[in-house]
């Protein structure tokens, strides 16, 4: 299958009532792990690259690796998404490269650190939507600000400082016409999200439910959604690592989200933990080894295991064959003639 529109993937997920994991990549082994997990579980999938990943891998390597994935797994619907674009120019360059979906994170200014005003966010997001939709490309926007910092992007803080206001979410969706809406409900990027198993005082699922009630057809996105499982932390620490005790987002909370409009779930940290643990184990147990394949292969397998598990838990497993790819040109036509709606359905309070 060619790279497909993320809008198509999310519309199908809404029809089927499941969520789709969006997994971050920086290199070939991570792409391979995700595609093998997708094949194993027969799942549609979103692969995403941040600005940091683009700088690390270089655009052309990344793009051609993604094309290779689409070529090698023709049965898997696969969208290539830009994670946390910081400006119109960053999104434009991703679209021109061949990404089929972009996130314009206008919740922060272009420095990727300072919270932006609502008006600034609407203006830059709308500019990206106009440019992207004309070309059949999907846009995710963000309202409210996540906690933490990832690849140098983020406002820092706990994640509770700028949680999304449901009224603003409605206004933002109406004014921008985004295809997917990332919301801030207390999660943050990285391993250190919560100091104990989160309850409603720190993980604001009530806000998610309130937003879904007002925007019942809008595809919601949960960022910072790694579960940071204890077993993955333990492997790292057993083999010389020094992670402090920490908690992520419990899978059952994500599943509650999926029953209430969440269609895209961003996961990066869990895979980083799996990879690092597997590499540490090989190097700790067999320090005489020096062939990178000796540790990259177990690392890739460890990541595949995590991704396959999440695909099953999010419900996307088994759905790869449900539909055929619509071409990006047809998607562009759909935005133009209005058959792909960009006007959210808004319910009363």
Stretch that binds ligand 13P, among 13-21, 88-96, 127-135, 219-227 (CB under 6 A): 219-227
Q: What are phi and psi of 258, to 5 degrees?
A: -65, -35
Give whichever of 77 and 224 is closer to ligand 13P, judged by the CB atom.
224
> How far apart are the C-alpha atoms of 84 and 74, rounded to whole Å?
27
By three-state DSSP, how is residue 267 classified? strand
Q: For residue 243, with 0-12 CB atoms within 10 Å meaning exposed, 13-18 middle and 19 or more buried, which class applies?
A: middle
Task: Specify the residue for token string 């999440």.
Answer: 310
The angle formed by the CA atoms of residues 317, 211 and 190, to the nearest 5 degrees, is: 60
58, two tokens: 């270089």
Give whichever of 211 and 267 is closer to ligand 13P, judged by the CB atom.
267
Q: For residue 68, with 0-12 CB atoms within 10 Å meaning exposed, 13-18 middle and 19 or more buried, which class applies?
A: middle
Which of residues 267, 273, 303, 325 is near ligand 13P by CB under 6 A? 267
Cβ at position 31, least distance to ligand 13P in Å: 16
Task: Specify the residue for token string 């434009």.
Answer: 92
Give whichever of 214 and 264 is closer to ligand 13P, judged by the CB atom.
264
Stretch that binds ligand 13P, among 31-39, 266-274, 310-318, 322-330 (CB under 6 A): 266-274
Give whichever of 223 and 319 is closer to ligand 13P, judged by the CB atom.
223
Closest CA to 64 of 101, 16, 31: 31
The size of the interface with ligand 13P (CB under 6 A), counted in residues, is 14
Stretch that binds ligand 13P, among 59-67, 156-164, 261-269, 320-328 (CB under 6 A): 261-269
Q: Are the C-beta atoms of 85 and 102 separated by less than 8 Å?
A: yes
* Contact positions with ligand 13P (CB under 6 A) in 48-107: 83-84
Bridge partners of 182?
A: 142, 221
Asked if 226 is part of the footprint of ligand 13P (rule: CB under 6 A), the reply reads: yes
* Contact positions with ligand 13P (CB under 6 A) in 121-160: 150
Task: Tell me how far CA of residue 150 lies from CA of 83, 114, 191, 209, in angstroms.
Answer: 11, 14, 10, 26
Which of residues 5, 176, 266, 276 is near ligand 13P by CB under 6 A? 266
Which of residues 190, 277, 315, 344 is near ligand 13P by CB under 6 A? 190
Asked if 21 is part of the footprint of ligand 13P (rule: CB under 6 A), the reply reads: no
Cβ at position 262, least distance to ligand 13P in Å: 13
Give whichever of 136 and 190 is closer to ligand 13P, judged by the CB atom.
190
Q: What are phi and psi of 79, to 5 degrees?
A: -105, 140
Closest CA to 255 of 263, 247, 266, 243: 263
Which of residues 26, 107, 225, 316 is near ligand 13P by CB under 6 A? 225
Point out the residues that are catalytic: 83
Cβ at position 226, least distance to ligand 13P in Å: 3
Give whichever of 229 and 315 is closer to ligand 13P, judged by the CB atom.
229
Q: For residue 56, with 0-12 CB atoms within 10 Å meaning exposed, 13-18 middle and 19 or more buried, which class applies?
A: middle
Stretch that binds ligand 13P, among 57-65, 223-231, 280-288, 291-299 (CB under 6 A): 223-231
Q: Which residues bind ligand 13P (CB under 6 A)?
A: 24, 83-84, 150, 189-190, 223-226, 266-269
């Amino acid at each position: 299958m060619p790279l497909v529109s993320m809008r198509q993937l999310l519309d199908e997920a809404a029809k089927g009532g499941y969520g789709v994991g969006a997994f971050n990549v920086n290199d070939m082994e991570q792409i391979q792990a995700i595609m093998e997990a997708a094949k194993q579980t027969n799942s549609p999938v979103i692969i995403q690259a941040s600005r940091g990943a683009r700088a690390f891998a270089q655009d052309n390597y990344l793009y051609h690796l993604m094309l290779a994935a689409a070529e090698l797994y023709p049965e898997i619907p696969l969208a290539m998404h830009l994670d946390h674009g910081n400006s119109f120019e960053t999104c434009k360059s991703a679209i021109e490269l061949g990404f089929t979906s972009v996130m314009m994170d206008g919740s922060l200014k272009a420095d990727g650190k300072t919270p932006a005003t609502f008006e600034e966010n609407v203006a830059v997001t709308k500019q990206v939507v106009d440019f992207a939709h004309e070309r059949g490309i999907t846009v995710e926007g963000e309202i409210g600000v996540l906690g933490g910092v990832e690849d140098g992007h983020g406002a820092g803080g706990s994640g509770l400082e700028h949680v999304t206001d449901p009224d603003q979410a409605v206004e933002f969706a109406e004014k921008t016409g985004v295809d997917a809406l990332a919301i801030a409900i207390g999660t943050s990027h990285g391993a250190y999200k919560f100091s104990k198993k989160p309850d409603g005082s720190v993980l604001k699922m009530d806000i998610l439910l309130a937003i879904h009630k007002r925007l019942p057809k809008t595809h919601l996105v949960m960022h910072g959604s790694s579960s940071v499982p204890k077993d993955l932390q333990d492997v790292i620490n057993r083999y010389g690592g020094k992670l402090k005790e920490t908690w992520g987002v419990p899978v059952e909370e994500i599943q509650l989200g999926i029953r209430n409009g969440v269609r895209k779930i961003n996961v990066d940290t869990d895979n980083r933990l799996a990879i690092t643990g597997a590499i540490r184990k090989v190097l700790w147990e067999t320090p005489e080894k020096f062939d990178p394949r000796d540790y990259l292969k177990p690392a890739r397998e460890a990541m595949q295991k995590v991704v396959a598990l999440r695909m099953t838990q999010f419900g996307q497993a088994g759905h790869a064959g449900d539909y055929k790819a619509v071409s990006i040109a047809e998607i562009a036509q759909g935005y133009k003639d209005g058959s792909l709606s960009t006007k959210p359905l808004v319910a009363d309070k």
